[in-house]
A = this chain, B = another copy of it.
Amino acid sequence: MTVDPSDDRPLYKQLADLIRARINGNELPPGQRLPAEHDFAEEQGVSRDTVRQAIAILRNEGLIVTSKRGSHVKKRADLTAVHVAMGEIHARMPTEEERKKLGIHQGVPVLIVECEGRAEEIHPADRTFIKIDRG
């Protein structure tokens, strides 16, 4: 399947949809490497820039991670999850500094748990820390 330049939807969004469908359909299973940007561009008849925009969308959705070795389909384990009994929870994308400091993966939001006024920033690895007993 390839993108359609005559379609009114932007090429990079079309391409993102195509790749997302392959991932959700398990045609591209977790851990699988995506084709190189250059190869993707040739295969689809678009510029590398367009491919990069599509990749950026999926990275932003937390579907893939990108490194110098290429883009790979993410594993479910990367999902941010917390157990709470009560309180208020905020979610947002971390700054790069927070990502480094807390060891957060690309595309993974941070959760801010507020309990009795105090706010605490957490990340996936901290899961066990923020269990709040509701006794």
Q: Which residues of A contact B (CB under 8 A)?
A: 13, 20, 57, 60-62, 79-96, 107-109, 111, 134
**How many angstroms between the C-alpha atoms of A1 and B79 in the bound complex?**
38
A61/B13 contact (C-beta < 8 A), A85-B85, A88-B81 known: no
Given the known inter-chain contacts A13-B96, A20-B95, A96-B13, please indicate yes or no for A81 contacting B86, CB distance below 8 A: no
New A-B contacts (13) at CB < 8 Å, excluding given A61-B92, A134-B134? A20-B95, A61-B93, A61-B94, A61-B95, A79-B90, A79-B92, A80-B90, A81-B88, A81-B89, A89-B111, A91-B91, A92-B107, A92-B109
Closest chain B residue to A132 by CB distance?
B86
